[in-house]
Amino acid sequence: SLLLQTWTNRINEASKLALLAWERETGIELVQINGQRRYGGPPPGWVGGPPPAGTEVYIARLPQDIYEDTLIPLFESAGRLYEFRLMMTFSGLNRGFAYARYASRQEAQSAIATLHRFPLRRGCAIVVCWSTQKRELVLSDLAASVSQRELEATLQIVTEGIHSVTLHASPCQTQAKLAVLKYRSHEAAALAKKALMEGNLRFGEARMRVDWLDPQLKQKLQLGEEKPLPSWVQGDKSPAAAPTVSLQNVLECLNALCWKHRLRTPLFTTKCVQVTPSGWQRFWYQAVIPGSRVPINGFTWISPDRQGHSKHEKATAVAALHILRVLGESL
């Protein structure tokens, strides 16, 4: 791992050193988490709440060896920045795109008018346009046996900011389902997409696929069947009111089920067997139910950014959900 770190530090070394010097000179603090590096949100000296919707622009076709010491001053020339997010690779290059959120819609409009097709480098004109603010993902290749409760419970453990989940029969595959996930914000949806892709989660034998929800597929789902009712009430209520799945209530449900089947309290073992560069941890788990001869084993990925329970507790919660599924029960 030391050799890998040395190798990544040497990639674009001169520009990285220039960025560090700029941070020291300006006192600007950049925070990197989950594949993106963030400035502001709010920036130093900001007064009041965050800007309204419609103040974020999307920036593309960035040279991968250019960083915030060039980009932030450029985009601040169009208006006051509330937040700037640069998408990063593990090696320390940028991924070619970023998001800038301004104090007002007028300043965002000014950034598009003045910086779209700006020649950041000879032969390299950048793209600056309105951020689409997508908030919906689609999970496909789900097993037909997957229940909505099981899916919701797992997603609450491994992603943040989920607003609703709706489960559909797949219009393209027989004996398969797909799910539409709606998140509270575009940022939450983008982080969830990355987390689910890296997490290698499975619901059934095949590995599920995750992507942004295509408008044509959304319309097809709405026309092809009655609109499914999410188990979380939406309406005008705050998404924060959605119920949460905790280790305690999963275990309470499992213990009640075992009592019903005259089995004793399950005993869990969890072990971290892999850690990805972005912080995901893969756990092996085993559950032994006294009175049942066969232990239940499996693997799960745990998100790096959840707060509250320890990662071993989250792995135990996933194991408990697995047992509930094996016993043919739902939450």
Give residue 270's region: left, alpha or beta (phi > 0; psi -120 to 50): beta
Domain 1-130 and domain 247-330, same fold? Reply is no
Question: So what's the pLDDT on residue 309?
Answer: 56
Q: What is the pLDDT of residue 18?
A: 92
Q: Any idea which of 57-71, 94-108, 208-222 has the lowest mean pLDDT?
A: 208-222
φ, ψ of residue 239 in degrees (nearest 5)? -60, -20
Under CATH, which number does the domain 136-223 receive?
A: 3.30.70.330
3-state secondary structure of 139: strand
Average pLDDT of the chain is: 79
Tell me the mean pLDDT in the region 17-40: 90
The answer to whether residue 261 scores a pLDDT higher than 90 is: no
**pLDDT value at 188 more than 60:** yes
pLDDT digits (tens, 9 = 90+) for 318-331: 778 777 766 654 33
Find the mean pLDDT for residues 51-76: 93
135-180 pLDDT, tens per residue?
899 988 888 888 888 888 888 877 888 888 888 887 777 778 889 9
- Which CATH architecture group holds 247-330? 2-Layer Sandwich (3.30)
Q: Give the highest mean pLDDT range of 5-9, 42-46, 194-198.
A: 42-46
Res. 232: pLDDT tops 50: no
Distance (Å, whole) CA 113 – CA 190? 26
Is-contact 139 210, C-beta < 8 A? Answer: yes
- Closest by Cα among 84, 36, 78, 34 to 59: 84
CA distance 279 to 304: 5
pLDDT bracket for residue 126 (50, 70, 90): very high
Cα distances from 325 to residues 205, 299, 300, in angstroms, run 14, 15, 15
Decide if 96 contacts 67 (C-beta within 8 A): no
Cα-flanking dihedrals φ and ψ of residue 263, to 5°?
Answer: -110, 155
**Hey, where are the domains in the chain?**
1-130, 136-223, 247-330
The answer to whether the predicted template modeling score (pTM) of the entire model surpasses 0.85 is no
- Which amino acid is located at 23 in the chain? E
Classify 192 as helix, strand or coil.
helix
Q: Which fold has domain 1-130?
A: Alpha-Beta Plaits (3.30.70)
Residue-wise pLDDT for 86-106, tens only, equals 998 877 889 899 999 999 999
**What was the pLDDT predicted at 298?**
77
CA–CA separation, 331 and 329 (whole Å) = 7
